[in-house]
Chains A and B, each alone.
Chain A
Amino acid sequence: MSAPLANPRGVALATRGRRSSVRTWRWSDRLAVLAAWAAGLFLCAVAAAVVIYMGYRGIEYLRPALLFSRPAPGVAQSETGGFLDPLLGTMLLTAIGIALAAPLAICSALWIVEYGRHGRARRMSRVVESSIEVVAGTPDIVIALFGVALFQLHALAFLSSTGEGGGVTGQSFIVAGAVMSLIALPPIFVATRDGLQAVPAHLREAAYALGKTRIATIRRVLLPRVRANLATGVTLGVSRIVADTAIVIVLLGDTLRFEPATGGLPGLRLLRGTGSSLTSYVFDNSPAGEAGAPQKAYAAAFVLLVFVVALNLVVERIGRAQASSQGLAADGGIA
């Protein structure tokens, strides 16, 4: 311990202060505080740099015409059109993915919290929870390869198109959307499960005391109460789908425009066909992909970032509305 420093204001401190003066700290402690401040401000600076740089490049290269014109093959940049198709592709994928993931995730969460508490069902709940954790931790490229293996089976050829030589391509909107639902599943599940677990027991007991069955309680009491958690979970799932690239470039065929499949029901041709999404468009137009058009890449990436930021704001808004409506102090944490 260092020798106590002469502190001429010692008397004043003793009567006023509860905090130790920085003057009495060792250098290592001061350095630690400085390092913490530096780390925090550094992350802030990185975020600001990313947002400002993407914003600057986006505004430089994004013209409204790009958003509403379809991409076309061409040599010069002025001929290659915009990215309406990739934009619609992202929305279509999101719709399919959430439509498949949300019911599955909500039903699983409901079953685990309401029915899977006792006896044999408890072991099964733990298995389901662990398997959802496994999916959450799996890299998306592995999930994409699983999709390829699964949907190239001949039995599932109706979900995509068949190439010459009889091989199933295994690439279409339905296929990519179905695999996207796997990665949207964990956020929705976790949000719903946490919301259901946070519902106080006396609400359920009151419903049972009034003679309601469990399923009626779920439908009339619990689900309305966890609406905000559901909304948060679905929004998080949407942001995961929008941001994903690996599954798209492996499973969506990577054609610039929508290429509907031939044959079969006309309504399903678009879904069975190939296309692209914003993320694959950015990837293809960057120096890593085939087309070397960084301007288009910046414009599309800016639109993508705007989407993601908007989704983040939605989540935050839902969280704040829920906290205030339930009379709790606003959540000071991050997750």
Chain B
Amino acid sequence: MMRPWSDRRAGGILGAASLLTCLCVLAMVAFVAVNAWPIFAHDGLRWLGPGGSIKGQIETMLNSTGHPPASVFHLRAWPIVYGTLLVTVLAVAIALPLAVLCAVFIVELAPAGVRGVMVPVVRLLASVPSVIWGLIGVLVLVPYVGNHLITTSERDSLLGTVQLTGASLLVAVVVLALMIAPIMVALICDALAAVPASWREGAAALGVNRPRAIRAVNLRAIRPAIVAATVLATGRALGEAIMISMVSGSFFFAPRPGDGLTFLFEPLRTIASTLVDYREGIGAPALKATLYALALLLLLSALVLSLGGHLIKQPLRRHQVPA
């Protein structure tokens, strides 16, 4: 009969598996950072600023040879950084109130039958792949915006600079908000369900009507969960590459708020969608370093977001329902 394993051996094997998991993550950060180093060595952080046309800079990099001279590393990435921030902030700004209202509806206000329908609906929306969102965006929303919402005068006003097809900031923000809202709804619903009923009953006993009680008690009690949901949604929005690459026009342009309504119809590119669009150029060393530097930027912002989320939750946690 085989001798049963000792705890120490089993513990060692399981611990080795955990260590392997850890090492994978460290390897990821290390590889991305090492490959991104040439850009930082050449330019410091200046490459994040504005200047020049990104398309031209990337073309130079693509056409450079195996050992590019230092002058080739001259990307100025501000338009795509700005595009990323714009899309993310707008999408989260739309999705957050939508998600909070929807969660309140599901947990507090919906009749039992409707709630039974809403729960699978939200789960379904959360699991739709991003390529399907992108397909619907590019085959339904983009033509609609291009044919029905953009007027000829708006197109003429930007005639020399950029072409207004329907692929635009508007479509990207709307679809992104619809993608991240279900994630937030799920988290906030769980937190709302965990608020003790006695808290709201106490408010009712003091004469507060239902919507006010919900706002004053439940929503304040779940503030850590709202922060966690926002952080998660922002991380997801920052990293969304495929859908944005399909619907946002793929043009290195920084939408100008000064243009008024046309601002919404201008195309843009985000960091993640640039990575997807230029994935084949990873052979050229100069472009490789650039792409990895952008990837490092995404990685660091994801890390900073989770860290920031943890830190914000701490002081909120004292009298609240845990997230």
A→B interface (CB under 8 Å): 19-20, 24-25, 29-30, 32-33, 35-40, 42-44, 46-47, 50-51, 53-54, 103-105, 107-108, 110-112, 114-116, 121, 124-125, 127-128, 131-135, 137-146, 148-150, 167, 182, 185, 189, 213-216, 218, 239, 242-246, 249-250, 279, 282-283, 286-288, 294, 297-298, 301, 304-305, 308-309, 311-312, 316, 332-335
Contact = CB atoms under 8 A, between A and B. Distances in A.
A216 B4 contact: yes
- What 4 A-B pairs come out closest when comparing CB atoms? A139-B239, A243-B129, A107-B17, A40-B105
A145 B22 contact: no
Interface size range on B against A: 35 or more
Contact of A333 (B135, B181, B189): B189
18 contacts: A39-B102, A40-B102, A40-B114, A50-B136, A111-B11, A115-B11, A135-B24, A138-B239, A138-B299, A139-B239, A139-B298, A141-B276, A142-B32, A213-B10, A283-B134, A304-B131, A316-B123, A334-B186
Contacts of A334: 106, 119, 122-123, 185-186, 189-190
B284 to A, nearest CB: 12
Contact of B139 (A110, A143, A294): A294
Contact of B21 (A39, A138, A185): A185
Interface in B100-132: 101-102, 104-106, 108-110, 114-115, 117-125, 127-132
A54 to B, nearest CB: 7
B246 to A, nearest CB: 4
B241 interface: yes
Contact of B7 (A44, A46, A215): A215
B251 interface: no
B60 interface: no
Interface stretch (B42-50, B208-216, B256-264): B208-216
A274 to B, nearest CB: 13
B39 interface: no
A145 B275 contact: yes
Chain A contact surface mostly = helix
A148 B282 contact: yes
Contact of B101 (A35, A131, A213, A297): A35
A131 B186 contact: no
Contact of B241 (A103, A139, A242): A139
Contact of A43 (B13, B18, B102, B193): B102
B300 to A, nearest CB: 10
B138 interface: yes
Nearest to A36: B105
B241 A111 contact: no
A116 B15 CA distance: 9
Contacts of B22: 127-128, 131
